């Protein structure tokens, strides 16, 4: 193997190792982001966990109607 081929092989190995490193790093960051989202998840129908601590009457009626519609669809589905 010539010196040029040796350097080319080392360059290819470095490129593969760097690509694997980046892929693992992206996967770890994505998993951390999903964990953060799960911590912030709020059920919009749970009045006790309303993020603003206030629900006006129109929003309350709208949510009740959505819950009723979903229950009807689940019963007929």
**What is the residue-averaged pLDDT of the chain?**
79
Chain Cα centroid distance, residue 23: 17
Angstrom distance (rounded) from CA 47 to CA 60 = 9
**Same domain flag for 33 and 18:** yes
| Domain region containing 9 | 1-41
- The answer on 14 and 30 residing in a single domain is yes
Q: Mind listing the pLDDT tens digit for each residue in 12-33?
A: 999 999 999 999 998 888 877 7
Q: Are residues 2 and 16 in the same domain?
A: yes
Q: Which residues contact 25 (CB under 8 A, 6 or more apart)?
A: none
Place of tokens 């009457």: 57
Answer yes or no: do 1 and 35 share one domain: yes
Instruction: Please write the tens of the pLDDT for every residue from 50-64.
Output: 556 566 667 777 778
Which is more confidently placed, 7 or 46?
7
Q: What is the pTM of this model?
A: 0.43
On whether both 51 and 16 belong to a single domain, the answer is no
Judged on CB neighbours under 10 Å (0-12, 13-18, 19+), 63 is: middle
């Amino acid at each position: 193997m010539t010196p040029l081929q040796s350097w080319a092989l080392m360059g290819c190995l470095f490129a593969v190792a760097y690509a694997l490193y980046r892929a693992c790093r992206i996967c770890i960051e994505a998993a951390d982001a999903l964990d953060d989202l799960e911590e912030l998840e709020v059920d919009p129908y749970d009045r006790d966990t309303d993020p603003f601590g206030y629900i006006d009457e129109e929003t309350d009626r709208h949510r009740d109607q959505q819950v009723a519609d979903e229950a009807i669809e689940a019963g007929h589905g």
